[in-house]
Structure 1
Amino acid sequence: MRIQPDDLTGPEIAVLLQEHLNDMNAVSPPESKHALDLTTLKASDISFWTIWQQQQLAGCVALKQLNTRQGEIKSMRSATAFRGQGLGKLLLQHVITEAKNRGYQQLFLETGAMDYFAPARALYKDFGFEPCAPFASYKEDPNSVFMLLQL
C-alpha cells in the first residue's frame, strides 16, 4: 500500500468520491450532509491523499486547514473492495502525522450519528478522538457527531 498526494484529476478518484457522495445522500438528510464534492476538495486550504494497492485505488483522505493551529479531517473513505482491511487506520495515522508536522494543536472531524457511521466513530475513538461541540461553521445537529483530537 502506498499513500500519495492526489490532484483529484484521475477518473478513479472521481468514481470513489461519487460513491462516497451517493452513500452520504442515502444515509444523511440533506441538511446534515457535509461531504465535499470533487470541485470543493480542490480548494487551496485542503490537502488530499489517496492510498493505492498496486494500481487499484483503495481509499482517500483530506485535511482542511481551519487556521494555523487547527485542521479538519474530510472525505476519509475506503473503496468497497478494500473495506475491513485496515485502510482507515493507515489513512487516519497519515493525516494525524501530517497535522502534527504542520504544527496543528487540534484535529477536528464531523461524522454521522447514525448506525452506518458506528465503525468510523469507533476508529476515531481508538485513535483518541473525543466528542466535542460543533466547530468552524458547523451547527448543533442530531445527525452529526463532532470529535476532537488534541495533538
Structure 2
Amino acid sequence: MTGPIVIYVDADACPVKDETYRVAARHGLHVYVVANSFMNLPREPWIERVVVSDGFDAADDWIAERAARGAVVITADVPLASRCVKAGAEVLAPTGKPFSESGIGLALATRNLMQDLREAGAITGGPKPFSARDRSAYLGALDRTIMRLKRAGFG
C-alpha cells in the first residue's frame, strides 16, 4: 500500500461536485473542496471544506502544494492542471477529459493562444455549455482513475 487516495476539487465554478461526492463515497475517499469563499457542502466527515484567501491563485496554490502521486485533482484550470500533473497527480477536467504529461504542453499552449486572441480583441466564443454527456463522461473517468490508482497500490 503506498498511501491513501485523496481528491482535491478546485471548487469555484466546478459543475461536478455532487458527482465527485457520490464516487468518493462509493470508494471511501476523502475529498477536499477548495474555494476562495464559503460554500455549502454535504455534512460528511470525509468531505472537507477548505476556504483560502481571496489572493490571486490562492486555491490553485493550496491544491498544487498537496498534489502528488495518489491524488486526484478536479479542475478546468489548465495552469493548475499542469502543476498537478508535474507533481504526479491524476488530473481530470469536469468533462472527464484527463490531463496527461504528454498532452499538458499542448493544452497550455492552446489556452495561452486563446487568451492572447481575447486580449487582442478577437471574438473567440466561450467554452461550450456543460452537458449531460459531459457529466456522464466525468463519472466514468473518475471511477476509472480511482480504480487504476487502487490497482497501483494506492487506497
Taking structure 1 as the reference length, what is the TM-score of the superposition?
A: 0.32
More helix by share: 2
Pick the structure with greater CA Rg.
2
Structure 2-normalised TM-score? 0.31
- In terms of fraction of residues, the more strand-rich structure is 1
More contact order relative to length (CA 8 Å, sep ≥ 6): 2
